[in-house]
Amino acid sequence: MKRLGILLSGRGSNFEAIADSVAAGRIGATIAVVISNRPEARGLEAARERGIDAVSIPSKGLDREIYDRMVVGELRKHEVDLVCLAGFMRLLSAYFVREFPLRILNIHPSLLPAFPGLDAQHQALEHGVKVSGCTVHFVDEFLDHGPIVVQTPVRVRDDDSAETLAARILREEHRIYTEAINIVLSGKWRVEGRRVIAEG
């Protein structure tokens, strides 16, 4: 059984969607550990309520690589095969990325490469796009940047606020994160340049 490690900084709804998929047998893996850089993250509490190991590793004031060594150590301790960033508000160092080559996923609430970074749903509204969506991608050391595994569109409505758009995108996030994890765990893919190609 493959072992997932979840990194989060806040609410943790993507973590809960993944945990629901694991519990329902839609993902054939276990969640070995949930780690947060913010001790107060709601996602940590949600993990504990589900009986999943939840570890707080505060990042405040620490050099990026020193911090990442602590997180990688915790992931290794739990023998994690695939790392899933779920609202983890930190850039990973090149060291971290090298430790888990093509074994780190992130979810982002836009159709990348549009609107990377913070407040992607707000950025989409400000730009006036008619379609936004969400993306699950492999993580490299650049912001919201690595090869794309799954994307799905969400229509922008004339009466949308950042909140209503974010809520519709979030429902799709919860669905495609499970899909992307299953693709990656199946091992039936390869990366050519920036493209993730399904095999078989």
Write out the catalytic residue numbers.
108
Beta carbon of residue 109, minimum distance to ligand GRF (angstroms, whole number): 4
| Residue least distant from ligand GRF (Cβ) | 87
Cα dihedral across residues 111, 116, 121, 126: positive or negative: negative
> Reduced to 3 states, what is the DSSP secondary structure of residue 94?
helix
User: What is the rounded CA–CA span in Å between residue 72 and residue 80?
Assistant: 9
User: What is the rounded CA–CA span in Å between residue 179 and residue 44?
Assistant: 23
Of 108 and 168, nearer to ligand GRF (C-beta) is 108
Beta carbon of residue 16, minimum distance to ligand GRF (angstroms, whole number): 8
User: What is the rounded CA–CA span in Å between residue 33 and residue 51?
Assistant: 10
Radius of gyration of the chain (CA): 16
Beta carbon of residue 179, minimum distance to ligand GRF (angstroms, whole number): 14
Beta carbon of residue 188, minimum distance to ligand GRF (angstroms, whole number): 25
Interacting residue ranges for ligand GRF, rule: CB under 6 A: 8, 10-14, 43, 86-87, 107-109, 170, 173
Of 5 and 109, nearer to ligand GRF (C-beta) is 109
Cβ neighbors of 42 (< 8 A, separation 6 or more) are 10, 11, 12
Of 85 and 183, nearer to ligand GRF (C-beta) is 85
User: What is the rounded CA–CA span in Å between residue 148 and residue 194?
Assistant: 7
